């Protein structure tokens, strides 16, 4: 079973933050702008842990298809 990681607590313990960032990490986002900021903090945590290197990057060929191919399948 996977261990549940509290990334917010880990990030708070590892770095210094301003008052707004501490509040955001402790209490969560209350607006869309705060959710974007929290997402940026999550990306910062992933970079610190080296997890951003493990993100799967799809091959370009997997994302592209032609309309003719679509018509042929349907």
In tens, the pLDDT along 37-68 reads 999 999 888 888 887 676 566 555 555 667 77
Mean pLDDT throughout 23-47?
92
- Arithmetic mean of pLDDT, 13-29: 88
Residues 6+ away with beta carbon under 8 Å from 14: 48
Give the Cα separation of 7 and 9 in Å (integer).
6
Q: How many helices (H) and strands (E) does the chain have?
A: 5, 0
Query: What is the model's pTM?
Result: 0.61
Determine the pLDDT at residue 70: 74
Residues near 25 by Cβ (< 8 Å), separated by ≥ 6?
Answer: 8, 11, 12, 17, 38, 41
């Amino acid at each position: 079973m996977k261990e549940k990681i509290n990334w917010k607590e880990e990030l708070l313990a590892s770095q210094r933050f301003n008052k707004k960032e501490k509040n955001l990490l402790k209490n969560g986002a209350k607006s869309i702008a705060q959710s974007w900021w929290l997402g940026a903090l999550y990306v910062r945590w992933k970079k610190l842990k080296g997890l951003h290197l493990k993100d799967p990057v799809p091959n370009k060929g997997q994302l592209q298809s032609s309309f003719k191919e679509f018509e042929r399948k349907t």
